[in-house]
Every structure is written in structure tokens, then in C-alpha cells.
Amino acid sequence: MRALVQRVSRARVTVEGEVVGEIGDGLCVFVGVTHDDDNPRARRLAEKVWQLRVLADADGVMNRSLSDTAGEALVVSQFTLYGDTRRGRRPSWIDAAPGAVAEPLVEVFCTALRELGARVATGRFGAHMEVELVNDGPVTISLEL
């Protein structure tokens, strides 16, 4: 699994003009799933995001995590994180898991984050989504398990 994590001051997802997920200060997490991912890996990735120390403390130092702040996370499934651009000009999506495999694992990831204590908002799996965010810092971290 891959996650692209951005520290945000706000973020939201709309589908056909309807806001389906929205947060204030926290993390916007784009999650990609590949063929050999499983439930334990999804839970480990959630724990890593929960403990990731990229939120500012009182001195403005990246020293706090969602676990320290009971922060919010907006989770958006994004198969394009597994786009392979090594050859040609059009990405290959062969490494991205099909929706029937990816959707349950993204849900396991979200459930694990909620069980850890995060307030989790989500996009809508498989929909054409518009994601708006204000990257705070900017801070963007790539995680992979």
C-alpha cells in the first residue's frame, strides 16, 4: 500500500457538486492499493499515519501526530499512486489493484484509523472526485509498506 500524506489546514471532496467529505486541520491521505496488499498491511499503514509526526507543536516544529492532537483525516482512494511512468508518456496502471480488491482495503484502513481515535472523512470510492485542500507548510510525505 502507498499513501501520500499532506498536512492541511482544510480539505474537502465533492462528487457531482455534493460535499462527501470535509475536514479542518489535519491530514489529507491519498491511499493506493496494489495486488498483494492485505488487511494487516492496511492496519499497519493506518498506524503509521496515526503516529506520523508532521503536525506543528506550539513552537511550530513538526513534532506532533494525529495521536497527539486527536486530529482529523480525509482519506481518498487513489489508484493513480501506482501509475508506472518509466516507459512512454502514458502511465500504466497494471500495479494498481482492481476496485474489488482495493475498496475493502481502503475501508480497513479507514476503520483502523477510526479505532485508533482519528475523526475520518472520506471521498467516494470509484467516483470522479474533486479534491480541494490547503497544504499547510507545504508538507507532503510519501509512505509505502
Q: Say how many domains are in the chain.
A: 1
Would you list the DSSP string of 25-45? SEEEEEEE-BTT--HHHHHHH
Whole-number pLDDT of residue 71: 83
Q: Which residue among the candidates 30, 79, 109, 122 is catalytic per the annotation?
A: 79
Q: Which residue among the candidates 6, 30, 34, 78 is catalytic per the annotation?
A: 78
Whole-number pLDDT of residue 70: 78
CATH number assigned to the domain comprising residue 96: 3.50.80.10
Whole-angstrom distance, CA of residue 93 vs CA of residue 141: 22
Whole-number pLDDT of residue 9: 96
Structural domain including 9 reads: 2-144
Among this protein's residues, is 140 annotated catalytic?
no
Among this protein's residues, is 111 annotated catalytic?
no
Number of H helices, E strands in the chain: 3, 8
Q: For the chain, where are the alpha helices, taking DSSP H only? A: 39-51, 66-69, 99-116
Give the pLDDT of the chain (145 residues) as one tens digit per residue. Answer: 999 999 999 999 999 999 999 999 999 999 999 999 999 999 999 999 999 999 999 999 999 999 999 789 999 999 999 999 999 899 999 999 999 999 999 999 999 999 999 999 999 999 999 999 999 999 999 999 9
User: Is the CB of residue 8 less than 8 Å from the CB of residue 21?
Assistant: no
